[in-house]
Chains A and B, each alone.
Chain A
Amino acid sequence: MNPDMTKWAIVAIIVAATTAGELLQALGMRHMGEIHDFRPSALGRLAASLVRNRYIAASFGAMAISFFAFMSLVSVADLSFAVPATAASYVFETILAKYVLGEHVAWKRWAGASLVACGVGLLSF
């Protein structure tokens, strides 16, 4: 595979894995409810219940794929390419937040996510 195709194949893996991972993480944390108590004993109990949460377990799997693919990408490409190239996940995640998580994505959020994705893309120039 030529170097450019390798880079873009890794970018596609990162975008897909990040989108799935963050969506699953948000689903899992919704099931846990708002974290109020940040004392070590409470955080220990929280960690124990997090490892039993199947959404969180699946999100760690997806985030691990995304992380190792990102490590590969920064070993063959500049960080100034690697970070902006993965910006497409903003748009996908906003779409899925509306349809899968049931969030109310008002026009300000659509506009904000699109501006951020375009802005991150421009940073690579």
Chain B
Amino acid sequence: MDGASRLVFKTRVFTVIVVLSNVLGNFSLSFGMRRVGRVVSLSPIAYVEALFNPWVAFGVALLILWTLSHMALLSWADLSYVLPVTAIGYVLVALAGWAFLNEQISTARAAGITLIVSGVVLVSATPLATFGGAEKHK
């Protein structure tokens, strides 16, 4: 595998990890926080207590994985490339809600999904990295 194909492959693998850890992490965190109840406080104790809920703890673990994989991706790819491309996670959340939770996909939501997918396709067609004057292969 040459340098450019290796970078494209590495980027795809990390994009999948970033997207899945973010989607599953947010879902688990939200599910857990519903059970914990309202937490709006400047005191860290309320948040630390919330971490003892297993769903919150699992969500936090996945979001740590998300942070680390996102950081790795940013070590070779542009922020303005990584951000829109990883937004495909929102589409997965909407489709998972439709498939597993019987949520309706309204016309507005369908339009939202179409716009996000179009945005991701457009950004995917740009080079991975342009900082420092270097344009790496898309």
In the complex, whether A101 has a CB less than 8 A from a CB of chain B is yes
Please encode chain B, from 92 to 131, with 1 for each CB lying within 8 Å of some chain A CB and 0 for all others.
0110000000000010110111111111111101100011
In the complex the two chains form, is A83's CB within 8 Å of B93's CB? Answer: yes
In the complex the two chains form, is A29's CB within 8 Å of B90's CB? Answer: no
Please encode chain A, from 60 to 90, with 1 for each CB lying within 8 Å of some chain B CB and 0 for all others.
0001000110111011100100111000001
Please encode chain A, from 99 to 112, with 1 for each CB lying within 8 Å of some chain B CB and 0 for all others.
00111111011011
A105 to chain B, nearest CB (A): 5
Range of interface residues on A (Cβ < 8 Å): 35 or more
Partner of A119, one of B63, B67, B76, B90: B90
A51 to chain B, nearest CB (A): 12
Partner of A115, one of B34, B36, B122: B122
| Bound complex: CA A71 to CA B118 (Å) | 30
Partner of A113, one of B34, B108, B123: B123
Residues of A within 8 A of B71 (CB): 25, 29, 50, 56
Per DSSP, chain A at the interface is: helix
In the complex, whether A48 has a CB less than 8 A from a CB of chain B is no
Please judge, given known A-B contacts A34-B75, A63-B67, A76-B40, whether A125 and B29 are in contact too, CB under 8 Å: no
Please judge, given known A-B contacts A103-B79, A120-B87, whether A75 and B112 are in contact too, CB under 8 Å: no
| Bound complex: CA A51 to CA B86 (Å) | 25
Of listed B50, B74, B135, residue having the most chain A CB within 10 A: B74
Please judge, given known A-B contacts A74-B30, A94-B80, whether A119 and B75 are in contact too, CB under 8 Å: no
8 residue pairs of the A-B complex, CB under 8 angstroms, read A22-B83, A71-B39, A71-B50, A93-B80, A101-B79, A101-B80, A116-B119, A120-B90
Enumerate the 5 nearest inter-chain pairs by beta-carbon distance, A residue then B residue, closest first: A119-B115, A122-B112, A115-B119, A125-B108, A112-B123
